[in-house]
């Protein structure tokens, strides 16, 4: 199998790593003895919860916005997001004194809406069940001349997210360790596409899986069918960061070539994983950020005896949601 899709090459991810160096944090890769014991495996947790703005999204936003021309920056940027990409774009824009407008669902966690506004961005709220965020953002961009910064389906965004995988490669190489499996939270598929591109370049035999909330397993079903499938229109989940109705065109084209498949987890599994991460590793993980750990904890037979990396992709959780997960499952 060709580890470098013509749609996104390893060199693109390596260039992104150079571009974001000194701005994005190198997040820790934690060997979790508690998770290892629970799964009869050797488990590492990649704590992107500790990245700027609390998720991996800072990487992709910085890589894309950093490549805009001075004229493009002067006209501002616009993005659509349930919260993590919103905060990342707002933060990166603030670093460059760039105006930012973010289209966000009205039911997004208030902690994410307020954080986005705190970076100076203007927020436009919409109903995720009756309105189309892409259309709203496109109209804003057309009227203002602002540049659209997609949350996942853009090569610069994907390359930036892929630097998570590149860091894992460096960190495991220092430990003289090669992972058997890498589990990655998946909404639109940008993080797993970029990570897989980087990891498979160095570790060609490592299996990489997407992990999605129940009812939103469109990437897993798309990988199985070979065409882009849509999420269940009636599905709901506490994993607000991952509620994307269909895989991106670019992300799916990449993921179809290099992923080994996908896992699906329900909200109860996610809450237990959130509680586990907090109680065992003292990490605050949002629902969408905990799905990879949830899949690992609930598919022990699949991973027994293997070396596993589970990505904790974000920690921007509403206090009430976090308290409920801890109090009900601890």
| CA-wise closest residue to 116 among 155, 161, 152, 77 | 77
pLDDT surpasses 60 at 210:
yes
117-119-122 Cα angle (round to 5): 40
H helices present in the chain, as ranges: 10-20, 33-39, 57-65, 70-74, 84-95, 110-118, 133-144, 155-174, 190-202, 218-225, 249-258, 267-281, 291-298, 300-303, 319-329
Structure tokens at 302: 């699949």
* Mean pLDDT within 264-286: 98
What is the per-residue pLDDT across 11-34, written as a single tens digit (0 to 9) for each?
999 999 999 999 999 999 999 999
Q: Check for a shared fold between 10-55+154-329 and 58-148.
A: yes
Are 250 and 188 in contact by the 8 Å Cβ rule? The answer is no
| H or E, element range at 183 | strand 181-185
168-171-172 Cα angle (round to 5): 85
Strand runs (DSSP E) across 71-159, as ranges?
Answer: 77-80, 100-105, 122-126, 147-148
What is the per-residue pLDDT across 127-180, written as a single tens digit (0 to 9) for each?
988 999 999 999 999 999 999 999 999 999 999 999 999 999 999 999 999 999
Q: For all residues of the chain together, what is the average pLDDT?
A: 95
Residues sharing a CB contact under 8 Å with residue 204, sequence separation 6 or more, in sequence order: 1, 3
What is the pLDDT at residue 6? 63
What is the per-residue pLDDT across 116-125, written as a single tens digit (0 to 9) for each?
999 999 999 9
Q: Does domain 10-55+154-329 have CATH number 3.40.50.1100?
A: yes
Q: What is the CATH number of domain 58-148?
A: 3.40.50.1100
Q: Where are the domains of the chain?
A: 10-55+154-329, 58-148
């Amino acid at each position: 199998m060709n580890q470098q899709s013509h749609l996104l090459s390893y060199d693109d991810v390596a260039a992104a790593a150079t571009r974001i160096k000194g701005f994005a944090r190198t997040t820790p890769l934690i060997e979790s003895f508690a998770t290892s014991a629970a799964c009869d495996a050797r488990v590492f947790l990649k704590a992107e919860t500790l990245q700027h703005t609390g998720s991996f999204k800072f990487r992709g936003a910085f890589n894309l916005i950093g490549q805009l021309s001075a004229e493009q920056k002067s006209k501002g940027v616009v993005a659509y997001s349930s919260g993590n990409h919103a905060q990342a774009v707002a933060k990166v824009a603030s670093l460059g004194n760039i105006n930012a407008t973010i289209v966000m669902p009205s039911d997004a966690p208030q902690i994410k809406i307020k954080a986005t506004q705190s970076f100076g961005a203007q927020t436009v709220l919409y109903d995720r069940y009756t309105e189309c965020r892409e259309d709203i953002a496109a109209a804003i961009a057309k009227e203002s001349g602002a540049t659209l910064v997609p949350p996942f389906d853009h090569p610069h965004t994907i390359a930036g997210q892929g630097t998570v995988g590149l860091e894992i490669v460096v960190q495991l190489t220092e430990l003289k360790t090669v992972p058997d499996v890498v589990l990655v939270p998946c909404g639109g598929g940008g993080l797993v596409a970029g990570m897989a591109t980087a990891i498979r370049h160095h570790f060609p035999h490592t299996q990489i899986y997407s992990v999605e909330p129940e009812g939103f397993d469109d990437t897993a079903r798309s990988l199985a069918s070979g065409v882009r499938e849509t999420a269940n229109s009636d599905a709901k989940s506490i994993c607000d960061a991952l509620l994307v109705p269909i895989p991106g065109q670019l992300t799916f084209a990449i993921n179809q070539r290099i992923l080994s498949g996908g896992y699906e987890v329900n909200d109860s599994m996610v809450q237990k994983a959130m509680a586990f991460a907090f109680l065992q590793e003292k990490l605050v993980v949002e629902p969408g950020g905990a799905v990879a750990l949830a899949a690992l904890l609930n598919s022990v037979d699949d991973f027994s005896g293997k070396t596993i990396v589970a990505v904790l992709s974000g920690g921007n959780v509403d206090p009430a949601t976090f308290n409920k997960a801890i109090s009900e499952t601890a």
